[in-house]
Amino acid sequence: MKLLSGLLATQACAQYVDENNETLNEAEYGVLDEFQINELLGLGLFEGDIITDEEGTLQKDRNAQMDLSYRWPDRLISIGVEPQVSMNVVGSLHQAIREMEAKSLVSFRAADETIEDWIRIYLGGGCSSSVGRIGGRQSLSLANGCDAMATIMHEFTHALGIKHAQSRPDRDDYVEIMWDNIDPSKYNNFEKASADQWTTFNSPYPYMSVMHYSSGGFAIDKSKPTIVTKDEFYQNLIGQGASYTKADNDLLNNLYSYSDADTDLASCTCSKIEFSGLTYQNARNGVYVKDANGGIVGDRFGYAHETNGNWLYYRRSSYSWWIGGTKGGSSRGVQAPDVAFCPENVEKDWQEYSGEWMTTGSVVSRCVDNVKCCSSINLMHRHSRYPEINGEYIAAGDLHHRTYYIHSSEDYALFFNGESWEISLTARA
């Protein structure tokens, strides 16, 4: 496809501008990869090339392998190239796009004014990208020296929602990080994902991936490695910077083989979710109603408490459903570490905060849309010390959003007290 017309003249030698606004020439420093360029420019990006979003939020936890809402719908990525981007970069960009479209399920198109989510490719200070689709316009920087096809594929793979290969939770089985040769201020560049934040699809460790660091990335002593492979064969091959490998293709295709129906909000048919059994956060018990017209939080509906101003919502940054005082906030209340698109499908245990996060096992959530209640209930408790409570209970009204029942003798009531079902002489609020 034609991404840019009226290209700038090709530069004979790439130039970069550092944080002191000084020009650095490729002739002086040689051909550099994206991490070397960004480090030389003093950009201080997370993991060397991951940028913040336009609100300044660090995206180190974003990973489409964990939360499918970071994927691009229909496997289609819209891009717009600013005219300042050099001809060398745009030529390699075309080549990289052809390679990615040929080897994977994704495809690209030119953005126009009708497209809401798209990637702006601009002449920045280095080579960097956001991780995954963040919504609206997002930026991908390709400076003059970011013209290697593998560099562009690397940054676009971030934009597609994939992090660095050596962040896999099982990486310590295959490589050793040489912490003594890394400045402590750069330790975060070697963070390892937890097992619940990364799906390996049971694939072999991708030593040759275009997403893997080289052996000397972020080294204090450039003559010594920061990553040592346990299989010596790969020591000088990691960070190969050539093109997509089979491992890269397989990961991207596994990720984008999910159906878009898995992230369709229309599949969330429950409009009322009831919580009961909260103890430390008992004020947050009750019914939460879908806020279908009040905006989306974390690519999911938010739900407002019927009476007390609490909210049920999803936080993409922590891959969790939350109950808190503000929609989308980080107030410590109730959470479930689950990426379900609909709250009625949350399977993980709900946790309450009281000095620390605790799982009590007593929290129950359920959909209360169109709940059908019996007009009468026959109770038979064979081992009760009070056999007189047995018998027929007849529906008499509503209490705590549940039907309550009066014994045929009118001496007892069967009702929900806000946390559990109870039989008493009267139905108490």
Which residues line the annotated binding site?
Answer: 154, 158, 164
Q: Nearest Cα to 387, choosing from 370, 364, 411, 403?
A: 411
Tell me if 245 sits within 8 A of 206, measured CB to CB.
yes
| Tokens of residue 392, six digits | 């027929």
Verify whether residue 155 is a known catalytic residue: yes
Q: Which residues pair with 122 in a beta bridge?
A: 141
| Distances, alpha carbon 112 to alpha carbons 94, 115, 118, 137, 286, in Å | 18, 6, 9, 11, 45
Rounded to an integer, what distance in angstroms lies between the CA atom of residue 194 and that of residue 429?
A: 45
Q: Which DSSP category does 11 fall into?
A: P
Tally the C-alpha atoms within 13 A of residue 265's C-alpha that lie toward its C-beta.
Answer: 15
Is residue 284 classed as helix, strand or coil in its secondary structure? helix
Residues 367, 372, 375, 380, CA torsion sign = negative
DSSP assignment of 310-344, as one string? -EEEEEGGGTEEEEESSTT---SSEEE----SSGG
Q: Which DSSP category does 264 fall into?
A: -
Rounded to an integer, what distance in angstroms lies between the CA atom of residue 276 and that of residue 286?
A: 6
Contacts of 424 (CB under 8 A, 6+ apart): 412, 413, 415
| Distances, alpha carbon 290 to alpha carbons 257, 284, 312, 345, 412, in Å | 30, 16, 9, 15, 35
Rounded to an integer, what distance in angstroms lies between the CA atom of residue 312 and that of residue 287?
A: 10
Please give the backbone phi and psi of residue 43, each rounded to the nearest 5 degrees, phi first: -75, -25
| Distances, alpha carbon 150 to alpha carbons 27, 32, 199, 215, in Å | 21, 12, 23, 17
Rounded to an integer, what distance in angstroms lies between the CA atom of residue 130 and that of residue 51?
A: 5
Selecting among 26, 155, 274, 352, the annotated active-site residue is 155
Q: Which residues pair with 176 in a beta bridge?
A: 228
Mark the binding-site residues for Zn(2+), compressed into ranges.
154, 158, 164
Please give the backbone phi and psi of residue 249, each rounded to the nearest 5 degrees, phi first: -60, -45
Catalytic residues: 155
